[in-house]
Amino acid sequence: MLKLVKHPDPVLKQPATTWEFGCEWPSADEIEDQMLDVMMAEKGIGLAANQVGLLKRVFAIKLSTGRSFCMFNPRVISTSEKMQSGDEGCLSFPDLWLEISRPMEVVAEYFDKNAQECKITLTGLDARCFLHELDHLDGVCFTDGVGQLKLALAVKQQQQRKSYENRYQMKRCKYTTGAQNED
């Protein structure tokens, strides 16, 4: 079973190599199943192979239509000049949110698990997700293009969120313990 890798694991900084159909183990079919399992368990909409410690050019994506699948050897054909700005998160950086500007539309090519070449046009969040995952395959994380000050502020907010969650969980623990004592 594949396991989610988190920052600062160095595998997140390493570029992935081409997926060779028929030569890889596990097979494309199995990798798709396993990566979709991890992505769904973590409630993500994208998961690059680097994020499960595998340096191969493949990522899982969940499109806004609800369709979830893997793209093997994905590449950008063209991007729109029109940009979109929005909050972006990453499963490997829990609770960290950064405002990132990306093209509104992407035309891309990839291979599906059956080694069929596919062309797809993605817009909005789907385009954002595709480009985020493609960056992972090049060893680039969404924190890399962000200024030091902006990143420091986002990390502070991340820590505040974490300490709030810890307090909340502690309360929950106390409550559970209390309830057990009543038995």
User: Cis bond leading into 8, ω under 30°?
Assistant: yes
Say which residues have a Cβ less than 8 Å from residue 86's Cβ, sequence separation at least 6.
99, 100, 125, 128
The catalytic position among 88, 99, 109, 133 is 133
Q: How many residues bind Zn ion (CB under 5 A)?
A: 1
- The window from 7-15, 63-71, 85-93, 123-131 that contacts Zn ion (CB under 5 A) reads 85-93
Give 28 or 134: the residue with its C-beta nearer to Zn ion. 134
Give 54 or 90: the residue with its C-beta nearer to Zn ion. 90
- The window from 4-12, 68-76, 82-90, 110-118 that contacts Zn ion (CB under 5 A) reads 82-90
Instruction: Output the residue with the shortest Cβ distance to Zn ion.
Output: 90
Query: Is 42 annotated as catalytic?
Result: no
Please report how close the Cβ of residue 152 comes to Zn ion at its closest, in angstroms.
20
Dump the DSSP string for 84-148: EEEEEEETTEEEEEEEEEEESEEEEEEE-TTS-EEEEEEEHHHHHHHHHHHHHHTT--TTTTS-H
Q: How far is CA 146 from CA 106, 136, 149, 172, in A?
A: 21, 15, 8, 36
What pairs with residue 69 in β-bridges?
Answer: 61
Contact between 137 and Zn ion (CB under 5 A)? no
Contact between 61 and Zn ion (CB under 5 A)? no
Contact between 90 and Zn ion (CB under 5 A)? yes
Q: What are the catalytic residues?
A: 133
**Residues that bind Zn ion in the complex, under the rule CB under 5 A:** 90
